Amino acid sequence: MNWLAHIFLSENNINFQIGNYLADPLKGKAWEKANINIIKGMQIHKMIDSYTDNHLEFKKSKNRLGKKGLLKPVVIDLTYDYLLTKNWNKYCNIPLDKFLNIFYDNAIKNMYTLPTNAKIKLSKLIEFDLLNKYQNLEDLYKSFKRVDTRLSPRLLKRDSVSRYYDLVCENIDDIEQDFLIFFPQLCLYIKKNTNNSYLTHWKC
């Protein structure tokens, strides 16, 4: 799952949400004296990634893009965020725009508590509204291209995210069915490892 899903799958606590996001750019390493909810958020991030990578439906989605490909997991992570956006109202009782605005506002208010490298990562997420870039397939393609710009020239010679776009479009209905089976099961898994009284934004 990509960043939108990680924020949604967090307890409704800004430090928990920030930790769940920062686990990716900071490689899962919290800074000294980090808030306990930052640490919990990073731990849940790792659990989400492990559960997702080993789930049958996620594997099915990857296989729909062909037998080989180094970047298929990245492609499906991004595509699942598009499908979460598309199906948002099935899972969340707060409209997406409102949910993101609350997160961004609270993150800005808590920015002063973060070390410089974390501030930079979080500021870019907010400035470019990166959680809200999956409204349609054209947006998804732009997300693929953005990821390609961060890949090394060596890797780009072997594979790219954007090359899968046509395959994603051809298989999007089947990938969506995979997602609709997978995501509620992921939610149930996360519920077992979080404080459910802080999941009031969930419908699932």
| Percentage of the residues of the chain whose pLDDT score is greater than 70 | 100
pLDDT digits (tens, 9 = 90+) for 101-121: 999 999 999 999 999 999 999
Write down the domain spans for the chain: 3-198
- State residue 202 phi and psi, 5-degree precision: -85, 145
Q: Residue 143 above 90 pLDDT?
A: yes
Q: Which phi-psi region, left, alpha or beta, contains residue 28 (left: φ > 0; alpha: ψ -120 to 50)?
A: left
Largest pairwise CA distance in the chain: 48
Mean pLDDT of the 114-132 span: 96
Its pTM stands at: 0.96
Residue 202: strand pairing partners: 92
- Cα separation, 119 vs 57, in Å, equals 35
pLDDT of residue 60: 98
Structure tokens at 195: 């404080």
pLDDT of residue 1: 87
